Structure 1
Amino acid sequence: MNTQDILQSIAAVQVSILRHEPDIEALDRAIGDGDHFINVRRGCEVMAELSPSLQGLTPADALNRIGMKLLSTIGGASGPLISSFFLSMAATLKGAAEPDRRQFAAAFVAGVDAIKSRGKADLGEKTMLDTLIPVARLLVRLNEEGASLADLCVAAKQEATQGMLATRDMVATKGRAHFLGERAIGHIDPGSKSCEVAIHAVCDLMTHR
């Protein structure tokens, strides 16, 4: 994945996030603090505005600039979490002019691990990690098995959706939703939905260009 792929992915994610605004906002009103979509939308806007200045940079440098910009512009809990994702990906890809799929998978895992560490959360706690962790593990496994890009993207989309839907039956232990206790059961986590939307957008871009 080169820097142009990253910039095209940013544009695709922004379009898809805006398309799913009603769904994500409804989920956040049910169990969140009401500002999740605002922060996600702002993050997409910031990355889109930054994109022209990232042309010609290595993937690591581009991701690092994205992470630093998000850290200074996104409010709420989302800002530090998402910025740590990009910064950790950047550190992992340092020195790679055009990372192959295995390198990108390793960087994605590092980014997810950074979210885990920053948010002190893990799989099964009704957060974005319930979408991200299974997909990260899948990317590593399928790349090691030599799966085609098309098969990998189909599987990643399925895994993301499965992880997102699984949050419906979980009791939240992090964020505002944890105050609801068992009343949060039956509601999908908005962060997991946003991540599912983003993963689908990137996978569709990679397989239909």
Structure 2
Amino acid sequence: MDPQVDIALVRSWIRSVAAAVDAHKDQLTEYDSAIGDADHGANLHRGFSAVLDALAAQEPATVGDVLVKTGSTLVSKVGGAAGPLYGSAFRAAGKKLTEPTADTREFGEALAAGLESVRRLGGAAPGDKTMVDAYAPALEAFQRVAAEGGGLAVAARAAADAAEEGVRATVPLQARKGRASYLGERSVGHQDPGATSTALVFGALAEAAEAASGAAGAGEAG
């Protein structure tokens, strides 16, 4: 049985994001040291650690409440561009989800609102060597599966795979936005740290959705 997006699943997603950031913080900083400020991993780790504390103290009534709290905390706790960009994405997504549960299509619409917010704030387009290069293909894959009637777990896994492909595609690109753009041609040959962390976010979503799907299936079998 494919799960709906509910408060428990979204909380699980954010916990998985925090765990992925913790596991990969040094790698993210390594990528950022080549074309940025060398603080992306540390900043996100600090931010999602604060998010976990904030969510532990929260009693959300809707799925959106969890995501808005996540976004607001990231904005207040994360320096550089990552805080405003990730914060605005989670907040915009959360504002679209005003019920205790959401179906796969509704969640896809929320993810789309997140991407729109990122693009509006950062001015980046696909090909600019930013987080958009992972987010845009992930969203496209998610919404394609949802439109075909696929469930959350399948859509989330398709999104995660597409985000990973998007990350790899940033390596030969020349950065056109953000601090990396100051390097010009020297940014070519480096994996974008923002796209890399975005792929971690979608990978964590797939893990949370698949775990919820497996639990639902086990419950039905029992």
User: Which TM-score band (shorter chain)?
Assistant: over 0.9
Q: 1:74 to 1:21 in 2, by over 3 A?
A: closer
Choose 107-116 or 15-24, whichever is displaced more.
15-24
Q: 1:52 to 1:157 in 2, by over 3 A?
A: same
Report Cα offsets for 1:73-99 as digits up to 9, x if no partner: 2211111111111121122112x2201
Alignment of 1:28-177 (within 5 A): 28-94=32-98, 96-177=99-180
Give, in whole Å, the separation in 1 of the partners of 2:193 and 2:20.
15
Q: How many residues align?
A: 208
Contact conserved, 2:27 with 2:41, CA < 8 A, in 1? no
Give unmatched runs, 5+ long, in structure 1.
none
Q: Secondary structure at the match of 1:169?
A: coil
Give, in whole Å, the separation in 2 of the partners of 1:48 and 1:154.
24
Percent identity, aligned pairs only, is 33
Note if 1:208 corresponds to 2:195: no
Contact conserved, 1:3 with 1:55, CA < 8 A, in 2? no
One-letter amino acid matched to 2:10 = I
Q: What is the CA-CA distance between 1:137 and the residue it aligns to?
A: 1.5
Give, in whole Å, the separation in 1 of the partners of 2:23 and 2:59.
26
Q: Normalization by structure 1: what TM-score?
A: 0.94
One-letter amino acid matched to 2:203 = H
Q: Normalization by structure 2: what TM-score?
A: 0.88
